Amino acid sequence: MENSENTTPAKPFYDGLLSVIVPCKNEVEAIPVFYGEFKKVMQGMGSPKYELIFVEDGSTDGTLDLLRRMSKEDPSVRFISFSRNFGKEAAMYAGLKSARGDYVTIMDVDLQDPPSLLPDMFSAIISEGYDSVASRRCTRCGEPPMRTHAARLFYKILNSLSDLKFKEGARDYRLMTRRVLDAILGLEEYNRFIKGMYEWVGFKTKWIDYENVPRSAGETKWSNFGLLVYSLNALTSFSTVPLVMAALVGIALCALSGLGIIFVIIRQLLEPGSSQWGWPSMVCIMLFLSGMQLFCLGVLGHYMSKIYLETKRRPAYIVRETSE
Ligand code: UDP
Ligand code: MG
């Protein structure tokens, strides 16, 4: 696969093929900007071999038409188009499965995962012997402050509940060798959370920090509610501690009620008739306890719904059209 704009005579930065997976939902404005920037970076790296795999995730704008055109004009561009919107996790999975490269990376199309980090990432793999190079935003400027606080809180809770350690600001963007990719493809679960999978498979990983970059064009696809659901899924995908906590809360409340019963008996013995006092506090206690029960049921239900979805063995996505 030779790139037509091969203008830089320098020796290619790496041998072999790089697969770049780019999930896209309604990104007709951002794709051309990404394509131009990515090719510039590749030229700067001595025009090594690459394939760009755009995964079109149920777009309603002209994204698919644009990708059809691009794949005709440039042999290093491929696309996979879904039958509807399946979400970014499914799009990344489809891309990873179809990647043919010796090296693989996933990038957002809005340039928030800067392609300019690629030379440093390759150096770490080729010269320093790492298996994968992960990226992490060290700042979140340009993002609503509430989202930043919520994200911080999420990582704190996730890290305290899971055996795996998640870095705050970690991106889906990372460069990995075929060995790491094959390990990730070995995880065939339906409820996918790729950041957790990266941590779960392990391997020697280097972290690169970078400043947050605002979106190049178009708009974010995430609503606050969408992010909340995503966070809950992430939490329960890589930790069963909430289930243990529900049981512990139950035990603690039983112990507390035991103490309460002893208190009521002693008071009744010391002051006959006093056990009729305090029905308003009784109502509060009952409300609290029913609340806790519903909460624990909710936690249980959430895990159960995940088992339910896994047992159906439905595919994570359905492909409607591909470039070849
Ligand atoms: N995306 C996708 N499917 C979705 C939502 C998003 O493929 O259902 C893609 C989107 O086109 C972009 C990337 O995922 O390339 C990240 O999305 P976005 O920039 O909206 O997220 P943010 O950076 O705001 O977290
Ligand atoms: Mg973005």
Pair type for strands 170-177 and 319-322: unpaired
Ligand 1 pocket test: pick from 31, 80, 110, 213 the residue with the most ligand atoms within 8 Å of its Cβ. 110
The residues spanned by each domain of the chain are 17-223, 241-312
Residue 9's pLDDT is: 52
Cβ–ligand 1 distance for 83 under 6 Å, the answer no
Residue 159's pLDDT is: 84
Question: Six-digit token pair at 108?
Answer: 């957002």
pLDDT tens for 88-120 read: 999 999 999 999 999 999 999 999 899 999 999
Q: Which residues of 67-91 are buried (b: 16+ CB within 10 A; e: fewer)?
A: bbebbeebebbbbbbbeebbbbbbb
Question: Six-digit token pair at 185?
Answer: 């493809």
Please tell me the distance from the alpha carbon of residue 23 to that of residue 215, in angstroms, as a whole number. 15
Instruction: State in Å: Cα 304 to ligand 2 middle.
Output: 32
pLDDT tens for 122-132 read: 999 999 989 99
Instruction: Give the predicted TM-score (pTM) of the model.
Output: 0.79
Q: Which ligand is nearest to the CA of 87?
A: 1
Average pLDDT along the chain: 86
pLDDT range class, residue 55, cuts 50, 70, 90: very high
pLDDT tens for 217-271 read: 777 777 778 888 888 888 888 788 888 888 888 888 888 888 888 887 888 888 8
Measuring CA to CA, how many Å separate 80 from each of 51, 64, 101, 109?
Answer: 13, 9, 16, 15
DSSP per position, 84-123: S---HHHHHHHHHHH---SEEEE--TTSSS-GGGHHHHHH
Q: Which residue has the tokens 């990266």?
A: 198
Q: Which CATH class is domain 17-223?
A: alpha beta
Q: Which ligand is nearest to the CA of 86?
A: 1
Please choose, from the candidates 151, 143, 117, the residue with its C-alpha nearest in 3D space to the C-alpha of residue 215: 143
Q: Which residue has the tokens 């305090």?
A: 278
Closest atom, ligand 1, to C-alpha of 91? 7
Q: In the beta sheet, which residues pair with residue 277?
A: none
Instruction: State in Å: Cα 11 to ligand 1 middle.
Output: 34
Q: Does residue 2 carry a pLDDT above 50?
A: no
Q: What is the DSSP letter of 12?
A: P
